[in-house]
Amino acid sequence: MSEATLQLEISVVLPHIEDKRDRCVGRLTELMAGHKGIQQAHVERENGQALVCLHYDPNLLTLEGVRRLAQRAGAQITDRFHHVHLPIEGMDCSDCVTVLEHAVGRLDGVLTVSVNYAAQSMRVEFDGQQVNQAAIERRVRSLGYAIPAEGLRSWLSENRELLFSALAGLLVLVGWAGGRFLGLPQPVSLALYIGAYILGGWDISRHAFHALAERHFDTDLLMVIAALGAAALGEFAEGALLLFLFSLGHALEERALERARNAIKALADLAPKTALVRRNGAEVETPVAQLQLDDVVIVKPGARLPADGVVAVGRSAVNQAPVTGESLPVDKMPDTPVFAGTINGEGALEVRVTRLAKDSTLARVMQMMEEAQAQKSPTQQTVERFERIFVPAVLIGALLVIFAPPFFGVPIRASFLRAMTLLVAASPCALALGTPAAILAGVAQAARNGVLVKGGVHLENLGRLKAIAFDKTGTVTHGRPELTDVVARAGAGREADDVLALAAALESRSGHPLAQAVVRAAQAKGLALPDAADVAAITGRGLQGLLDGLPALLGNAALLADAGVPLPGEIAAQADAWQGEGKTVMFVALGGQVVGALAVADTLRPGVRAVMAQLAQAGISRTIMLTGDNARAAAAIARQAGLQDVRADLMPEDKLDALKGLLQQYGLVGMVGDGVNDAPALAHATVGIAMGGAGTDVALETADVALMADDLGKLPFAVGLGRATRAIITQNLVIALGVIGVLVVASLTGLAGIGIAIFFHEGSTIVVVLNALRLLGYRGTNV
């Protein structure tokens, strides 16, 4: 049976899909596989791009017919299945995540729902034939939460919890001081305490009610029960103080977390909202969202660039730090790429738009940041599983504390008070917040420094790496050969520049990368070249021709031997030394005599050796080069770079096998590459790290972490930030569990009352959030 194949980019068939692992991709392949003539439909990756691969019978379907079927299927899926990303207002504790996910997930037609407390957002995938966005939003609002229009929040909504808390605190203070020092009647003090109950417990009680309705026991419920228990005992002052401190703690936590959210939101504000466009000979101010491909935008000195594009006219130095984290401005000239959100220097530029606003590097970074915030790290998932067991266990424990001690002569009032204190002491708010707050701050700080981390799992794994493997070409080296050495034969009457000029004259007739390196070097020195004629390439040997009428050769030792030209001993010795350093050697002969030699090599990126030293200081025990180069050249580059191990002569599939071996040997291995031919290895590494994410779609799509600048110097920062994030998470878990443990013992033994328990409980929660926010100040030193 005959077969033909058509490959289509997923973004062409399913333009609404943000994540190539989305279930809509599977729906597309299932739908296509059901068509007559389609033999197989699957997804594969090629050069880091996700493609729908359709195998069909050309006797039944034409190429265009298959393309139309795929586009029709994609449109059908797009019309039916929808993805929305909603800001959520009113979440005051991480338990709200479970309530929202459970309640929204129960709606018919909702396929997946993911709520991120730290980012205050919710992502929902739903079947439009069964439910719509309006119904989802109604369900969210019915739970007591709000969805601000376009993510905007009014001053009152932003400050309501803090305002209510402050008023509750004032009522508690007046009620206590008035009754103690001013002789206020007891009913008046009681009324003040009840007012504090209402204000301090307004949000808490609503959330506790909705959690119960969803059959979920959360920390808000523990606090409400404790406050009501205090009231039942007549301890209205204690209960009012509890709700005041609890609501104040939540308000302060929210303010602290907002710092980390703002660090991410600031990225979205980098690109200007309008652009100056040249159309029909006139300059027109146009919204950035309306820019079209190939539009020419005018960027004035000091202005931010409105779109990704290529410089058409002008020269300037552009500050790319907002996107790539580079510390120094980058020179831009015609045909060089520029990115939206970067800042133009002193020269005016005209830029031809190459990406729409929604597809710009900055827009894709923001999209991936949102996805990263929604993903839960392994530690966070473990903590959430623990909470689901721990909170019901606390409620059962509180019941035991109420009813068991009276059998041993303990007064029921004392037992009840200790049980209420236990509810406060064991509330795991700090435990729930410690990890997501650290991940949020870590991801934000990475992005601010030109490192895109696609999720908490990758940030944690960065901090756990034991070894890192590097591709050579384009990663450790520039990926472009350069002339490194020139020597003239002693007694030949020529200088090194003469030898270079002779070689460049011949190489100017060749398009080989090595030839271009020689020509560039001669041009940089402004050398005058002799006239070259009859230049011909000799396969595997080099070039021959005439220079100023004399026979000339440029190539390897075999070329000289074939022509009967002797190789002087001192030149041969120098050539051996260069080859020992991994360089390619070319000999220059003129008139039947060798006049000199040149060495060309793919040069190291600046600072690579320092990067390897910094990685060792950060705890990376092994650095390995994986390359297709020969062992001798690879070993020479590795020595210069400070790499500890080399695996050479590797085909692309061999690199993957080598990486699998490293994973077995070291357990946790990172892979650094350019994201193109390294895609399989990047995908299989514990953490795949791509360089130059701002310049290539492949790097952004393939890797778990993208260094936005084409600069290895960001790698130690990324690894160090991962280490620091893991350290902060560990510290937060120790603080949270330690405080819970001490308070539980103190409450059961009667050493701590509700007031002390809530003070230390809320204090520990604020401490773990502030501790996490230290990551926003991480600069590459230990935290």
Q: In the predicted model, what is the mean pLDDT of residues 166-189?
A: 86
On average, the pLDDT of the chain sits at: 84
Compute the 3-state secondary structure of the chain and give helix, strand, coil in percent, each to the nearest 5. 50, 20, 25
Q: Are 227 and 243 in contact (CB under 8 A)?
A: yes
- Alpha helix (H) residue ranges in 564-704: 569-580, 608-617, 631-641, 652-666, 679-684, 697-702
Percent of the chain at pLDDT above 70? 92
User: Three-class SS string for 637-671?
Assistant: HHHHHCCCEEECCCCHHHHHHHHHHHHHHHCCEEE
pLDDT of residue 152: 61
How many degrees, rounded to 5, is the angle at CA 26 between CA 20 and CA 30?
A: 150
pLDDT digits (tens, 9 = 90+) for 400-432: 888 888 888 878 888 888 888 888 888 887 887
Q: What distances in angstroms separate CA 495 from CA 400, 487, 501, 596, 747, one per listed residue? A: 96, 8, 10, 9, 89
Give the range among 85-94, 178-187, 333-342 with minimum mean pLDDT: 85-94
The Cα 289–Cα 181 span in angstroms is 64
d(C-alpha 321, C-alpha 437), whole Å: 25
Q: Write a three-state SS string for 273-328.
A: CEEEEEECCEEEEEEHHHCCCCCEEEECCCCECCCCEEEEECCEEEECHHHHCCCC
Mean pLDDT of 225-246: 82
206-228 average pLDDT score: 77
Given this model, what pLDDT does residue 643 score? 93
**Quick check: 91 pLDDT over 80?**
no
pLDDT in tens, 573-593: 999 888 887 788 999 999 889
Q: What is the mean pLDDT of residues 766-772?
A: 90
Q: Are 60 and 49 in contact (CB under 8 A)?
A: no
Residue 260: its H or E element: helix 236-268
242-267 mean pLDDT: 75
- Single-letter code of the amino acid located at 333: M
From the list 1, 5, 2, the residue with the least C-alpha distance to 63 is 5
The span from the CA of 62 to the CA of 68, in Å, is: 10
Give mean pLDDT, residues 751-776. Answer: 86
User: Are β-strands 451-453 and 705-707 bridged in parallel, bridged antiparallel, or unpaired?
Assistant: antiparallel
Give the chain's end-to-end CA distance (angstroms, integer): 64
CA distance 635 to 174: 77
Q: What pLDDT was estimated at residue 94?
A: 65
**Considering only 89-98, 282-291, 341-350, which range has the smallest mean pLDDT?**
89-98
Task: Summarize the confidence of residues 740-763 as an average pLDDT.
Answer: 85
pLDDT band at 782 (very low <50, low <70, confident <90, very high): very low
Assess whether pLDDT exceeds 70 at residue 371: no
Whole-angstrom distance, CA of residue 554 vs CA of residue 755: 88
CA distances, 328 to each of 455, 709, 717 (Å): 28, 11, 17
Chain segment 40-79, per-residue pLDDT in tens:
888 776 654 567 888 888 888 788 888 888 888 888 888 8
Q: In the predicted model, what is the mean pLDDT of residues 207-215?
A: 76
SS3 of residue 568 by DSSP = coil
Q: Can you tell me the distance from the alpha carbon of 436 to that of 379, in angstroms, rounded to the nearest whole number?
A: 9
Residue 93 pLDDT class (50, 70, 90 cuts): low
pTM: 0.75
What would the pLDDT profile of 620-665 be if each residue is shown by its tens digit?
Answer: 999 999 987 778 878 888 888 999 999 988 876 788 888 989 999 9
Task: Tell me the chain's radius of gyration from C-alpha atoms.
Answer: 34
Q: Could you report the per-residue pLDDT of 434-473, keeping only the tens digit for each?
A: 888 888 889 889 888 888 888 888 999 999 999 999 988 7
- How far is Cα 719 from Cα 709, in angstroms, rounded to an integer? 16
Contact 251, 766 (CB under 8 A): no
Query: Active-site residue numbers?
Result: 471
pLDDT in tens, 260-276: 667 667 776 777 888 99
Closest listed residue to residue 343, CA positions, set 330, 361, 359: 330
Q: Per-residue pLDDT averaged across 535-550, rounded?
A: 88
CA pair distance 167, 308, nearest whole angstrom: 50
Q: Residue 118 has what pLDDT?
A: 66
Whether 331 has a pLDDT exceeding 50, the answer reads: yes
Q: With bands split at pLDDT 50, 70 and 90, how would you rate the model's confidence at 783?
A: very low
Indicate the pLDDT class of residue 87, thresholds 50, 70 and 90: confident
Least confident of 12-21, 325-334, 671-680: 12-21
- Helix (H) / strand (E) containing 52: strand 49-56
The residues with which 316 forms a beta bridge, in sequence order, are: 332
Tens digits of residue pLDDT in 684-724 = 889 989 887 666 666 666 778 888 888 888 999 999 999 99
Q: Give 485-546 as a 3 state SS string.
A: EEEECCCCCCCHHHHHHHHHHHHCCCCCHHHHHHHHHHHHCCCCCCCEEEEEEECCCEEEEE
In this structure, what DSSP letter does residue 758 have? H
Which residues have a Cβ under 8 Å from the Cβ of 289 and sit 6 or more positions away? 357, 358
Which comes out higher in pLDDT, residue 259 or 526? 526
Residue 755 CA to residue 240 CA, distance in Å, equals 10
- The rounded distance, in Å, linking the Cα atoms of 110 and 746 is 45
- pLDDT value of residue 695: 61
Measured distance CA(148)–CA(254) in Å, rounded: 16
**What angle in degrees, to the nearest 10, is found between the helix axes of 714-748 and 412-425?**
180
Give Cα 691 to chain centroid, integer Å: 12
- Rounded to whole angstroms, the Cα distance separating 643 from 624 reads 6
594's enclosing H/E stretch is strand 593-604
Point out the least confidently predicted range of 156-160, 178-182, 294-298, 305-309: 156-160
